[in-house]
Homo-oligomer: A and B are copies of this chain.
């Protein structure tokens, strides 16, 4: 099997170069972010060493510093990506929907797709904000707040009698329900799980 040279890992101590297994050579930054997400989700930010991340993608530890300013920068970039993606996807979906019922369903479906498709990212997203250094922490919080406010806005059109504080708390609880799926994964086939979570989230939001 022939492999382009830039897919080889250089390591004179390990004998001949070896092809990088993995997702077909996107940028190394992305590769690092994905490997780190899985590790952070499994063991927590402080439980993962720089060398672990490197080993997961077939390079040595300090190679990471060619792409990030440090370990905290990896986490910060990761959470920024997730928050921004949730927010923009949410905006897109709400704009494309006609009426608040459809908008709510679209928000729920989008969040479920993300939670089931990238469980590690969702896990890190709601556990590790406290380890992000201060400048980026604020930005991530802002994005998260904007995302929640989309949900609240949609929901307050469906339940105009409820106060905003209550709706916000209800949205947080519903997101907690959806975000818990990575931990309790398995058991159910994907499509059934998706439908069940959607029904549960919808019922909870309308009952809260």
The interface of chain A, by Cβ under 8 A from chain B, is 42-47, 126-127, 130-131, 165-166, 168-170, 172-181, 183-184, 187-188, 192-193, 196-197, 199-208
Using A131-B47, A199-B207 as known contacts, say yes or no to A180 and B183 having CB atoms under 8 A apart.
Answer: no
Tell whether, in the assembled complex, residue A188 and residue B176 are in contact, meaning their CB atoms are under 8 Å apart.
no
Instruction: Tell me whether chain A's interface is mostly helix, strand or loop, or mixed.
Output: helix
Least CB separation from A47: chain B residue? B46
Q: A170-B200, A173-B184, A200-B208 are in contact. List 11 more A-B contacts (CB 8 A).
A: A46-B47, A126-B180, A127-B127, A166-B196, A169-B184, A174-B200, A176-B180, A176-B184, A177-B177, A200-B205, A203-B207
Task: Return 10 A-B CB contacts under 8 Å, by A number.
Answer: A43-B130, A126-B180, A173-B177, A176-B176, A176-B179, A199-B207, A199-B208, A200-B208, A204-B204, A204-B207
**A200 to chain B: which residues have CB within 8 Å?**
170, 173-174, 204-205, 207-208
Using A47-B46, A202-B207 as known contacts, say yes or no to A180 and B172 having CB atoms under 8 A apart.
Answer: yes
Tell whether, in the assembled complex, residue A44 and residue B45 are in contact, meaning their CB atoms are under 8 Å apart.
yes
A16 to chain B, nearest CB (A): 36
**A187 to chain B: which residues have CB within 8 Å?**
165, 168-169
**A126 to chain B: which residues have CB within 8 Å?**
180, 183
A37 to B3: give the CA distance in the assembly, Å. 51
